[in-house]
Amino acid sequence: MEISAEPGRYAVGNREGVKEGDCVILREAARRFPASLGGGPARKISREDSHKLFEKIGADINYFSEWLSKYKKFYLVELEGYYPFEKPVSLDDVIA
């Protein structure tokens, strides 16, 4: 879930055992960019901080509240080495 108008900042819900300090690599196919790749350490944030991040970008927190209420832990990953690609790149190409 993108949380900034700028590429490279993502909030991650309670994803299958992500722990603070884990390195998360994100491959994103988006409308603005054919594909992008970045990675960075996960930092645990509070539910309130996750709400503030949505509000900061002008997102309707009421729209996301039900979804956010399903999770107890939240992590923020500020991607380092964020690279947009000119052509789509498959996941197989990335991990090959």
Q: Three-class SS of residue 91?
A: helix
Range list of H helices, the chain: 47-56, 61-68, 91-95
Chain segment 1-37, per-residue pLDDT in tens:
333 334 444 444 445 566 777 666 555 555 554 555 6
Contacts of 73 (CB under 8 A, 6+ apart): 13, 14, 44
Identify whether the C-beta of residue 68 lies closer than 8 Å to the C-beta of residue 51. yes
| Mean pLDDT, rounded, for 58-87 | 73
Which of 11, 58, 57, 2 is CA-nearest to residue 31?
2
Domain ranges of the chain: 9-86
Both tokens of residue 20? Answer: 């603070």
Chain segment 14-24, per-residue pLDDT in tens:
455 667 776 66
